[in-house]
Chain A
């Protein structure tokens, strides 16, 4: 996101009165899709079967970097049951920029850029036939030198991954793998460091991790000779998928209709395409027969979504009383073999976002490496930035003998602070979170030997984005809402609660459907913690439009002025001195009679939602480190985060807990491990080990509510901030327990043990 864009989003937006009492908002009803999801009825990406369907399989390169000399598909084409084979050169030429990059990642054309890069695909009458046929494709490669590590990729003599991708801001003389350079800041940095009693700097590294959604990517694509097609797909954003698939295939987006399935997790990784366009390309070649493409887990890990790996320098100045005087970061991030995939800009923006600093300076390098094309992962960039900055703040706090929460309260950003990345904060809740953390009973627990406590703050911008919502009134007085943001963790429930509140009708009189691309205007995906915020806001406005119409119908029926009625508790009431005496006209009555009173009643709202409220949180973790094995056990975990207002508190807590668990995995276990040929060594869940139930304790949560004036019910997005503090909080806790500071994630038993042994 560009800085001025961020600024505009933050500073636009209306002011709502959020200090009301609510009847439905803040309650915990059953989610409307719960029944389908506990009975196995809910249909996810791979659960779709249609008549005459073919099955696809994809051939992937076993090399980190190689030129494709030749591909021979003749044996595969001749195999039993095979109906179509596609390779990169079957896709249209002439694409540029991001579209070209999507296409290159969909199917390699001249070069493969990472282990797992797709080179060919087959559609056959059964999944087994397709898998067998793929093995018959012969590819000749000319191996090229590769590079995996971000620092190595920038160093002199590193293999050049792409020519001519270097952006204009990159300083002269840098390696061609450095494709972008960003710098910004404000205040007098030298004066800031001069004013400090303690200045420290250190370097931190994080490894690539995967979003790890349990549902692999899956779709059924159908594309006819007329260039018109359909797709069923698990995605966070059906309109994004449509646009991207169309671009890769050289079609107009309007030719595709995309229906989102239920989605089995995404965390940012399902906001883009990987193999989806292949199903359409195969379908077209197979005479328009629908083609199902379901990734295996190892395809997911090798070829989709990981986040960037990083190498980060941080320098901070602090006075003896804990006042921070200046901060500087230099981040180097690789997001695979394509430019602009690493969230370098966002990481920089997040680095000091929790602090009120007189002087800050940020520098960032976007670097290419022979790894998969990175995708968004929950608060992209923020967890890494927090690991570096919050680790150093903690180190300095300890050195000065200060309390980590007090130091954060002392320097914490609040309403009116000019943020490190530019905009001035409106109402935000960081200090409230820190105060609540300080008061939590977990902090009164005494720690034993080899145990330690760590604290960290976290931040995410949140996002509004393009949104379009419709609602319509039924004859029975119930309401159906059409939303465009896939429900990835209970957003149907939260939207239904806001609609019920706005209309004054029972929660179970509202049905929220997630609709296909033909049923609404464009919607951005469920990303940026925007679904409950933006879809909710647009749904409220759509209801207000319908309320206006219902009031007009009643006023007309009563023969009184439109201004002489009001909407209250699900009915139109006469209002004001001259309105006259009429019994309230309920929504049910209006629904029953709308055919005669002027036709169907619906409400619609489209917007690029402004008024986004930033999200802050504070985590406190207690760990025990086994001095014999180096294994870290999480004893207690506390998440405190500002939700603005929790529409359905259970799902807000769920976001906090899920974010914390992913952050714990990132901190302790998860990483992409490569051999010296650049091949991924852990592409299954046995070896890419995400936290399991026995790894974790209960995760305590405290919901802070500092309402966001930019949302009718005060909502801030809650999805992302929670993954941010665990990385540094756990590093800080391990430092507290062992006296050793780990600056390279993940903090595996081997690394911790080595730190303990080597001092």
Chain B
């Protein structure tokens, strides 16, 4: 088992190095090697979004990217969404709006929604629904999730 690949990357701003099997996905590496278990594996096929992270600012399913491809990249995960111990407005609004029930989809949805608001600070309901169409939630029917995202966007616009 000597065919491991050495990877240097940045996760949530911190320099990180790891060895991984060429077949390991970025999600496997985050969870099994870096102890960052906030991203979840709901499907492993790019269909549920529970594993959502950003790579150089782009939203991706970490189950579809190999760990080895993280070389030289900047990875953003749910663990980095709250900055300096202060919750991101989306995180606060998700709690306030009861936008989670079981909560297993929540990390992926928060990462995806944050990425949306960075690109589009004033999305319509429809834009939020289509942006999050790759993030399955089986518990909530999405109603409270959409409201929380719209409310967070409004608050962030007010603060900006």
- Is B104 engaged at the interface, CB distance under 8 Å to the other chain? yes
**A-chain residues with CB within 8 Å of residue B144 when the two chains form the complex:** 650, 653-654, 657
In the assembly, what is the distance between CA of A686 and CA of B134, in Å?
10
Contact A661 B100 (CB under 8 A): no
Q: How far is the CA of A660 from the CA of B125 in the complex (A)?
A: 20
- Across the interface, do B132 and A693 meet the contact criterion of CB distance under 8 Å? yes
A383 CB to closest chain B CB (Å) equals 15
Which residues of chain A are within 8 angstroms of B31 by Cβ–Cβ distance?
46-47
A681 at the interface (CB under 8 A from B): no
Residue A75 lies at the interface, judged by CB distance under 8 Å to chain B: no
Instruction: Tell me the complex Cα distance, A734–B45, Å.
Output: 33
* B91 close to chain A: CB less than 8 A: yes
Closest residue on chain B to residue A132 by CB atoms = B23
* CB–CB B141/A490 < 8 A: no
Q: Identify which of residues 84-101 in chain B touch chain A, using a CB-to-CB cut-off of 8 Å.
A: 87, 91, 94-98, 100-101
Question: Which residues from B are CB-within-8-Å of A47?
Answer: 31, 37
- Whether B29 is near chain A, meaning CB under 8 Å from some CB there, is no
Q: Does the CB pair B48–A80 fall under 8 Å? A: no
- With A37-B103, A49-B35, A685-B48 known as contacts, the answer to whether A216 contacts B41 (CB < 8 A) is yes
* Residue ID in chain B nearest A665 by CB atoms: B138
Contact B82 A685 (CB under 8 A): no
A712 to B97, CA, bound (A): 27
Question: Which residues of B in the span 24-42 have a Cβ within 8 Å of any Cβ on A?
Answer: 24, 28, 31-32, 35-42
Are B24 and A40 touching (Cβ within 8 A)? Answer: no
Question: Contacts of A38 on B, CB cut-off 8 Å?
Answer: 87, 91, 94-95, 100, 103, 106-107, 110
Asked if B140 contacts A654 (CB within 8 A), the reply is yes
Partner of A694, one of B48, B50, B130, B145: B130
Which of A27-35, A98-106, A275-283, A536-544 contacts its partner?
A27-35
Is the CB–CB distance between A34 and B95 below 8 Å? yes
Question: Separation in Å of the B143 CB from the closest CB of chain A?
Answer: 5
Q: Provide the B133-149 mask, 1 if CB < 8 A to any CB of A, else 0.
A: 11111111111111100
With A214-B50, A262-B103 as contacts: A39 and B136 at CB distance below 8 Å: no
A70 surroundings in chain B (CB, below 8 A): none
Cβ A661 vs Cβ B136 within 8 A: no
Contacts of B40 in A (CB 8 A): 44, 46, 214-215, 264
Q: When each residue 556-599 of chain A gets 1 if its CB lies under 8 Å from chain B and 0 otherwise, what string results?
A: 00000000000000000000000000000000000000000000
Q: Is the CB of A693 within 8 A of B98?
A: no
Residues of A within 8 A of B42 (CB): 214-216, 264, 297, 685
Number of A residues, CB within 8 Å of B: 64
Question: For window 657-674 of chain A, which residues contact chain B by CB distance below 8 Å?
Answer: 657-662
Q: Is A267 an interface residue (CB 8 A)?
A: yes
Q: Interface size class for chain B?
A: 35 or more
Complex contact B95–A40 (CB within 8 A): no
Contact A214 B105 (CB under 8 A): yes
Contacting pair A684 B78 (CB below 8 A): no
Flag whether B16 is at the interface (Cβ < 8 A).
no
Contact B104 A265 (CB under 8 A): yes
Report if B155 contacts A (CB, 8 A): no
Contact pattern, B 117-139, Cβ under 8 Å of A = 1, otherwise 0 = 00000000110111011111111
Tell me whether A31 and B129 are in contact (CB under 8 A).
no
Q: Shortest CB–CB separation between residue A26 and chain B, in angstroms? A: 14
B43 contacts chain A at the CB level, 8 A cutoff: yes
Q: Is A428 an interface residue (CB 8 A)?
A: no
Q: Does A263 lie within 8 Å of B102, measured CB to CB? A: yes
Question: Residue of B at shortest CB range from A292?
Answer: B32
Contact of B102 among A41, A215, A653, A691 (CB under 8 A): A215
B11 at the interface (CB under 8 A from A): no
Determine if A265 and B95 form an interchain contact, defined as CB atoms under 8 angstroms apart. no
- Which residues of chain A are near B94, meaning CB under 8 Å? 34, 38
Residues of A within 8 A of B47 (CB): 297, 684-686
Chain A residues within 8 Å of B110, by CB: 38
B103 and A693 form a contact (CB under 8 A): no
Query: Is B79 at the interface (CB under 8 A from chain A)?
Result: yes
Q: Which residues of A contact B142 (CB under 8 A)?
A: 657, 661, 693, 696
Assuming the contacts A42-B103, A490-B101, asked whether A214 and B39 have C-beta atoms less than 8 A apart, the reply is: no
Residues on A with beta carbons closer than 8 Å to the beta carbon of B141: 654, 657-661, 691, 696, 699
**Chain B residues, Cβ within 8 Å of A175:** none
Give every chain B residue within 8 A of A650 (Cβ-Cβ).
97-98, 144
Which residue on B lies nearest to A45, using beta carbons? B104
Chain B residues contacting A658 (CB-CB under 8 Å) are: 101, 138-141
| Cβ contact of B45, chosen from A686, A692, A693, cutoff 8 A | A686
Task: Please indicate the chain B residues that have their CB under 8 angstroms from the CB of A425 in the complex.
Answer: none
Say whether A685 contacts B45, CB under 8 Å. Answer: yes
Q: How far is the CB of A7 from chain B (nearest CB, A)?
A: 32
Given contacts A43-B37, A296-B44, A685-B48, contact A265 B146 (CB under 8 A): no
Q: Is B140 a contact partner of A264 (Cβ separation < 8 A)?
A: no
Q: Does B95 lie within 8 Å of A684, measured CB to CB?
A: no
Quick one: CB contact mask for B54-94 with A, threshold 8 Å, 1 for yes? 00000000000000000000000111011000010001001
**Contact: A654 with B98, CB < 8 Å?**
yes
Nearest CB of A to B110, in Å: 6
Task: Tell me, in angstroms, the Cα distance from A698 to B87 when the chains sit together.
Answer: 26
Mark interface residues in B11-24 (1 if CB within 8 Å of A CB, else 0): 00000000001011
Contact among A35, A126, A216 for B95, CB-based, below 8 A: A35
Complex Cα spacing A705 to B38, Å: 38
Q: Is the CB of A651 within 8 A of B101?
A: yes
Is A693 a contact of B37 with CB atoms below 8 Å?
A: no
Residue of B with least CB distance to A688: B47
CB distance from B85 to the nearest CB of A (A): 10
A488 at the interface (CB under 8 A from B): yes
Contact with B along A40-75 (1 / 0, CB 8 A): 111110110100000000000000000000000000
B95 touches A30 (CB 8 A): yes
**Cβ 8 A contact of A489, one of B43, B81, B102:** B102
Contact flags A184-225 to B (C-beta < 8 A → 1, else 0): 000000000000000000000000000111111000000000
State the 6 A-B residue pairs at the shortest beta-carbon distance, nearest first. A40-B38, A264-B104, A661-B141, A37-B103, A657-B141, A650-B98
Q: What are 21 A-B pairs with beta-carbon distances under 8 A?
A: A30-B96, A31-B98, A34-B95, A37-B103, A39-B78, A39-B87, A40-B79, A40-B81, A42-B103, A43-B37, A126-B21, A211-B138, A213-B104, A214-B42, A265-B139, A296-B44, A650-B97, A653-B98, A654-B139, A661-B142, A694-B126
A: residues with CB less than 8 A from B are 28, 30-31, 33-35, 37-44, 46-47, 49, 80-81, 126-128, 211-216, 262-267, 294, 296-297, 488-490, 648, 650-651, 653-655, 657-662, 684-686, 690-696, 698-699
| Contacts beyond the supplied A39-B79, A685-B48, A692-B135: 12 A-B pairs with Cβ under 8 Å | A40-B39, A44-B40, A49-B32, A81-B1, A126-B21, A128-B24, A266-B102, A297-B48, A489-B102, A489-B139, A657-B144, A658-B140
List chain B positions with a Cβ less than 8 A from chain A: 1, 21, 23-24, 28, 31-32, 35-45, 47-48, 50, 77-79, 81-82, 87, 91, 94-98, 100-107, 110, 125-126, 128-130, 132-147
